[in-house]
Structure 1
Amino acid sequence: MTLSILGIFASLIILMVLAYRGVSVIVLAPLTAMLATIFSGDFPAIVAYTEILMKAMAGFIALYFPVFLVGAIFGHVMGVSGASTAIANFISATFGNDRAILAVVCATALLVYGGVSLFVVVFAIYPIGVSIYKKADVPKRLLPASIALGAFTFTMTALPGSPQYINTMPIPYFGTTIYAAPLLGIISSVIMMTLGIVWLTRRARKLNAAGEGYGVHDADKEIQYNDNTKLPGFVLAIVPILLIFILNFALTNWYFIEFAANYLPAMKALGKSQINGIWPVVISLAVAIVASFILFRAYIPSPKKQLEKGALGSLLPIMNTASEVGYGGVIKALAAFSVLQAGIVSMDISPIIKVAISTTLLAGVVGSSSGGTALALEALGESFKTMALEHGISLEAFHRIAIMAAGGLDTLPHSGAVITLLAVTGLSHRQSYKDIAMCTIAIPLFAVAIAIALAMSGIT
């Protein structure tokens, strides 16, 4: 068993190091997963590849490809039409060029807190971020960290009421709501956002002082068809994004609740117990794409060609992310992982610290905040509830701290979210990961430590 656990950590370290050095995870994830199975001896490596990894990949693609597809098309159309530039010009005029980083973080956070999927927001905000950073001459290498700060930190796990999926996961175990521990969440959000922006702003000044500006990047060529002399107005440009907000909210909170009976019989016939949660965002984005082609028809060169390019742009990100999911699927299937998981959740420490450590460590191993949360709650959700009651700690605090901690080590170099973010922005780990790690690992875990101290003093 010791050798098997060693194999898990060896494969994880190799995966992270080589991913950081630019090796494709589409190739790397299967190889490292099979390495872990060789150490474990649980089953032959080829079995792990074809029967576990590929099925996990296929399951992820089946579930999320529609989101990646419409997200990539929407982001591309907003870029080539000049709508993203128009929005960026308005944001820049409102915030000022010296607050370009704040502008990108706020714009990203607004989309995520408004219900736009984490997988989609990168596509939607990228062309806007490019325009803002280019105008302010902020080094592009900081753009992934700025998007990650707005998407993968406080809006995903800390802000009370966040509509992101991870914020719903503790509810069945703790009997809480998405608004659990509002004071802890707000304080933690302020810490994450403030420290993240301070870090990125100082980094931008340091890089500028060394002579580095925005730079020239091949990945930007796809969104530079439209020059600043022919742009849609801001009001027109913002309409598709407003449509996403309105439709996503209405479909999520009203239509698929009031009219669930129209869909549940068909879902149950297929062996499903509930409505697919990605329907609202897929429909909202599809409508926004159609609206964009109509509203921006005078600004889009070769619409059919742009539709094709947008669709093709979804393939590399989803394959990268699916490969990471496949790796996690193999690791979770190993007997040693169950031992490792049991060891993490059975540590003899304060229960609220235990829930934080268990979710963040498991999220780090599988490269997913929601994956780490699910594993921790499935293994010890009821025990966490019992321990919270015995120690007089609020279950709301458990809810908030569990998911905030999961949003810490989930963005190690092999994380699917990080791989997707870098693929979309056309940058490498070597260029951007240092700043991503500071904004999505170091600062959030510091905020978690503060939140734990506050929760242990009775503040929720």
Structure 2
Amino acid sequence: MGILGILIALGLLIWLAYRGWSILLLAPLCALLAALLAGEPLLANWTQTFMSNAAQFVAQFFPIFLLGALFGKLMESSGSVEAIAAYMTEKLGTQRAILAIVLAGAFITYGGVSLFVAFFVLAPMGHALFKAANIPHRLMPAAIALGTSTFTMSAMPGTPAIQNAIPMPFFGTNPFAAPGLGLIASAIMLAFGMWWLSRAEAKARLKGEGYNYAGSINPNDAAENELVRERATTAREFDPGEIKRGGHTSSLPSFRLAALPLVVVVLTNLIMSFVVLPRMDVSFLQDARWGNTSLAAVGGVWSVIVALATAILVLIATSHRRLPSLRATMDAGANASVLPILSVASLVGFGAVVAGLPAFEVVKNWVLGIEGGPLVSLALATNILAALTGSASGGLTIALDALGPAYMTIAKEIGLDPGLMHRVAVIGAGTLDSLPHNGAVVTLLAVCGSTHKESYVDIVMAAIVGALIALVAVIGLGTVLGSF
């Protein structure tokens, strides 16, 4: 009955979440249902297991959620995101409209801006560019997804995306884990995605299919959609309900000024990871006052926190005149982080309750016993959980909470580099999370004024198939050559 209870609880969670019910309600209720069907104590599972694990996730990652959402909102309100996107589209022009949108999204998100902020800025520009180039608008969601939701989220070394931060406390890694493999995976995702979109554009032109979109684009309509918001906040670290709050500049900065904070994020992250933190005396962390921890467990998160905080200060110093209401903008950014982290933390709490049930031992042994070695089983575990929850961050955390210590034990026994496991886990979580019920997919389609029927096949090819090919390549190269 234990396994059946887990399946019933998980199925109910997925079904009701897809219908728009709040994860904040569903996660504890479904966790308690799983405990009830397993004959486990309900209140103890809620207060001692669910809440303690959800609280631990908040304690570990709230600074990144907070600073990431704040940075994204400041970049949007100051016009920096719009200026960067406009520069890219101007330089590449209508002849390379798809590439312009992809690279604009990649540059913005690799620099630390939430992909939801990128969606709301890139969609109107994408429509204007695709209309001028006479490219079917149905291809635009896939182009935006390729640039914002694939390699800059899971593969590029040093990306400040929350998904890249989650494995660090589990594996003792930093944001630049397995950099060579990450770059190879990024190249595969970008090349495959561009090949598919270029092919789709060419086929459309042969059939005489053009832009053919008669509707009006108002991204704020998607931000006000409660169903979109519910799904979105479990998928990424920004609440789209805050996108229209806080004011917006009336004049755009230059490209160099707009790009400066993004460069600061990457460089500061690099310097913190390889220069500052390795030279610090952190022996005090072993004291009970600081949680009896180590630099390996907290250093990666510290690097991302300092990088985002430094970029925020640089952005305010250089663009404060273009922020019509700094306090309101910062309030909106801070508020944008709250619902996402609580939603993901609730998923983590649900996963902790399930992982603590006696029947889960059977699931754990099955996963660890999958043929192909630990990298294959880790990739499958993160893929499946991210797909079921519709959240890369939620699925990744649940998988590592339940299986992370076991994988670290295996890694020590066979000499497997934790950095390689880090990269495989993150790329794995960023593949099947883009199923139709994923909040980012739902939001992207709503912002672009498209539908699953029109655009989802191209999203699958650009955001899922390319990532799966890259994942296979990383596992193959990592198995033969090790981490590099």
TM-score range, shorter chain: 0.7 to 0.9
Paired with 1:395 and 1:56, the residues of 2 have a C-alpha distance of: 23
Please give the alpha-carbon distance, in whole angstroms, between the structure 2 residues aligned to 1:260 and 1:148: 42
Q: 1:379-400 CA distances to partner (integer Å, 9 max, x unpaired)?
A: 36666898999xxxx9999886
State the 1:56 CA deviation: 1.8
1:156-195 maps to which residues of 2 (within 5 A)?
157-158=154-155, 164-165=164-165, 178-179=178-179, 185=185, 188-190=188-190, 192-194=192-194
Q: CA deviation at 1:255?
A: 0.8
Instruction: Read off the aligned partner of 1:36 and give its amino acid letter.
Output: A
Question: Which of 21, 37, 40 is the aligned partner of 2:38?
Answer: 40
1:209 aligns with 2:220: no
Task: Using the TM superposition, give the Cα deviation of residue 339 of structure 1 relative to its aligned residue in structure 2, in angstroms.
Answer: 0.9
Aligned to 1:241: 262
Counterpart of 1:368 in structure 2: which amino acid?
G
1:185–1:400 contact (8 Å) kept in structure 2: no
Inter-partner Cα distance in structure 2 for 1:361 and 1:170 = 19
By how many angstroms is 1:28 displaced? 1.8
Q: Which residue of 2 aligns with 1:332?
A: 355
Letter in 2 for 1:253: F
1:372 aligns with 2:399: yes
One-letter identity of the residue aligned with 1:133: G
Task: Please say if 1:129 is aligned against 2:156.
Answer: no
* Partner residue of 1:307 out of 316, 326, 330: 330
**1:316–1:156 distance in 2 versus 1, CA, 3 Å:** closer
Question: Partner amino acid for 1:136?
Answer: L
Query: For residue 85 of structure 2, what is the amino acid of its counterpart?
Result: A
Q: Displacement, 1:15?
A: 1.9
With over 3 angstroms needed to count, the CA separation of the structure-2 counterparts of 1:323 and 1:399, relative to structure 1, is closer
Question: Separation in 2 of the partners of 1:452 and 1:262?
Answer: 35
Distance between the aligned counterparts of 1:56 and 1:310, measured in 2?
25
TM-score normalised according to structure 2 size: 0.72
Task: Decide whether the 8 Å contact of 1:317 with 1:420 is kept in 2.
Answer: no
Query: In structure 2, how many angstroms separate the alpha carbons of the residues matched to 1:440 and 1:267?
Result: 44
The within-5 A match list for 1:55-454 is 55-97=52-94, 99-110=96-107, 116=112, 121-122=114-115, 125-126=118-119, 128-130=121-123, 132-133=125-126, 135-136=128-129, 149-150=146-147, 152-155=149-152, 157-158=154-155, 164-165=164-165, 178-179=178-179, 185=185, 188-190=188-190, 192-194=192-194, 197=197, 208-209=211-212, 211-212=214-215, 214-218=217-221, 219=223, 221-222=244-245, 225-227=248-250, 230-261=251-282, 264=285, 269-274=290-295, 275-347=298-370, 354=377, 356-361=379-384, 364=387, 367-369=394-396, 371-372=398-399, 375-376=402-403, 378-379=405-406, 404-411=427-434, 418-419=438-439, 434=456, 439-448=462-471
Instruction: State TM-score, norm by structure 1.
Output: 0.75
Per-residue deviation at 1:63? Answer: 1.4
Q: Residue 264 of structure 2 contacts residue 311 of structure 2 at CA under 8 Å; is this kept in 1?
A: yes
Gaps of 5+ in 2: 224-242
CA distance in 1, matches of 2:410, 2:80: 51
2:189 alignment partner AA: S
CA contact (8 A) 1:370 1:406 kept: no
* 1:239/1:172 CA distance change after superposition, 3 Å: closer
CA distance in 2, matches of 1:4, 1:203: 51
Distance of aligned partners of 1:21 and 1:129 in 2 relative to their CA distance in 1, 3 Å threshold: same
Question: 2:150 and 2:97 mapped to 1: Cα distance?
Answer: 19
Contact 2:76 2:82 in 1 (8 A): yes
Q: Which whole-Å CA distance do the structure 2 matches of 1:112 and 1:196 have between them?
A: 22
Alpha-carbon distance in 2 for matches of 1:372, 1:324: 11
Gapped regions of structure 1 (runs ≥ 5): none
Measure, in 2, the Cα distance between the counterparts of 1:35 and 1:192. 43
Deviation at 1:254, TM superposition (A): 0.9
In structure 2, give the amino acid aligned to 1:87.
I
- Look up the equivalent residue of 2:99 and give its one-letter code: L
Counterpart contact for 2:118–2:148, Cα < 8 Å: no
1:204 and 1:317 mapped to 2: Cα distance? 38
Pair 1:85–1:151, CA change in 2 (3 A) = closer
How far residue 48 of structure 1 moved from its aligned partner, in angstroms, is 2.4
1:58: Cα distance to partner?
A: 1.3
Q: Which shifted more, 128-137 or 445-454?
A: 445-454
On the 8 A contact 2:172/2:418 being kept in 1, the answer is no
Does the residue aligned with 1:308 lie in a helix, a strand or coil? helix
2:354 aligned partner, one-letter code: I
Q: 1:54 to 1:299 in 2, by over 3 A?
A: same
Q: Deviations over 1:435-454 (max 9, x none)?
A: 76555444433554577788
Q: Tell me by how many angstroms 1:191 deviates.
A: 5.7
Q: Does the residue aligned with 1:335 lie in a helix, a strand or coil?
A: coil
Output the aligned Cα RMSD: 4.6
Distance (whole Å) between structure 2 residues aligned to residue 313 and residue 214 of structure 1: 23
Between the aligned partners of 1:215 and 1:371, the Cα distance in structure 2 is: 36
Counting matched residue pairs gives 442
**CA shift in 2, pair 1:371/1:111, >3 Å:** farther
Q: Which amino acid aligns with 2:88?
A: I
The amino acid of 1:15's aligned partner reads L
Query: Is the CA contact 1:137–1:214 (under 8 Å) kept in the aligned structure 2?
Result: no
Instruction: Name the aligned partner's letter for residue 6 of structure 2.
Output: I
Identity %: 31
Q: What residue identity is the alignment partner of 1:91?
A: M
C-alpha distance after superposition, 1:162-182 (max 9, x if no partner): 783478799889xxx714668
Amino acid at match of 1:54: M
Superposition deviation, residue 412 in structure 1? 5.4
Whether the 8 Å contact between 1:364 and 1:412 is mirrored in structure 2 is yes
CA distance in 2, matches of 1:125, 1:207: 25
Cα distance in 2, alignment partners of residues 204 and 244 from structure 1:
39
SS at match of 2:90: helix
Contact 1:7 1:36 in 2 (8 A): yes
SS in 1 for 2:244: helix
Task: Give the Cα–Cα distance (whole angstroms) in 2 for the partners of residues 282 and 424 of structure 1.
Answer: 27
In 2, the alpha carbon distance for the partners of 1:66 and 1:246 equals: 19
